Chains A and B, each alone.
Chain A
C-alpha cells in the first residue's frame, strides 16, 4: 500500500489566483514526480526531483514551479492560474535504489480554473 498523499483532491478557483498543490509521501523515497493528465487521459511528466534541493522540468512545458526542501514534500505552485491549467495533477514517488522499482501514485488533484 502506497503512502503518498495529495491535497486538495478537488479545487475550483478563479483566473489569476496563486495556488499550491501539496504532495507528501511517508516512504522515504528520494525520487518524486508530477504528472499532468488532460481530459483525453494522456499523462505528461511536468516536473521531477531526485532528492532534496533537486528539481528538473519534465517533457511537457509547464508554467508551474516546484520545490523540494524536505524529502517527503514536493509541492507544485501556479503563480497565476488560467483556464488552460484545468487538469488533473498526479504526484508519484519511488525509491532511488534499484532501477526496477515502480512509481507509487497519489490520488490526484483535480483542478478547475474558471
Chain B
C-alpha cells in the first residue's frame, strides 16, 4: 500500500536555527513521484519541489534543501537559517504512478519564533 509518514507533528525553533522535516514513504512502484508543499496560515498549498524516483540528486534552492534517499525511502526537507515567514504546515506527498492520486502525509507544523 502507498503511504507517506511525517512523524513530526509539530516543531518549534527560534529564528536562524536550521530545521529538518522528515518524510518517509512506502510504495511498491518502481516509478513514483514525490512532492513537498507548504501551507501558510492563509490556507493555500504552495508547491515547493518535485522529485521522481530515478533522480536521487539532492537539491538546494536558497535556504531550502532536500535529501532524497531511496535506500531508506526518505525525502527530507531542511530549512537553513529559519525565518518567521517559514512558519507553516509542510506536507510531503507521493503520487501513485498508476492512479495519478496524490497521497499526502499528515503534515508537520513548523513554528519559527523571533
A residues in contact (CB < 8 Å) with B: 2, 31, 33, 40-43, 45, 48, 58-59, 88, 90, 92, 99-100, 102-108, 110
B44's contact among A33, A59, A99, A107, by CB below 8 Å, is which?
A107
Q: Which residues of A contact B106 (CB under 8 A)?
A: 40-42
C-alpha gap A28/B44 in the complex (Å): 20
- Closest partner residue, chain B, to A48 (CB atom): B101
Please tell me the number of chain B residues within 8 Å of chain A, measured between CB atoms.
23
Min CB distance A95 to B, Å, is 12
**Whose C-beta in chain B lies nearest to the C-beta of A10?**
B43
A88-B31 Cα distance, complex, nearest whole Å: 31
Chain B residues with Cβ below 8 Å from A107 are 42-44
The minimal Cβ–Cβ distance linking A110 to chain B, given in whole angstroms, is 7
A45 and B102 within 8 A (CB): yes
Pair A43/B104 contact, Cβ less than 8 Å: yes
* Complex: A19 Cα to B105 Cα, angstroms: 29
24 A-B Cβ contacts within 8 A?
A: A33-B102, A40-B106, A41-B109, A42-B106, A42-B107, A43-B104, A45-B102, A59-B101, A88-B43, A90-B45, A92-B45, A99-B31, A99-B33, A99-B100, A102-B35, A103-B102, A104-B47, A105-B37, A105-B44, A105-B45, A105-B47, A107-B43, A107-B44, A108-B44
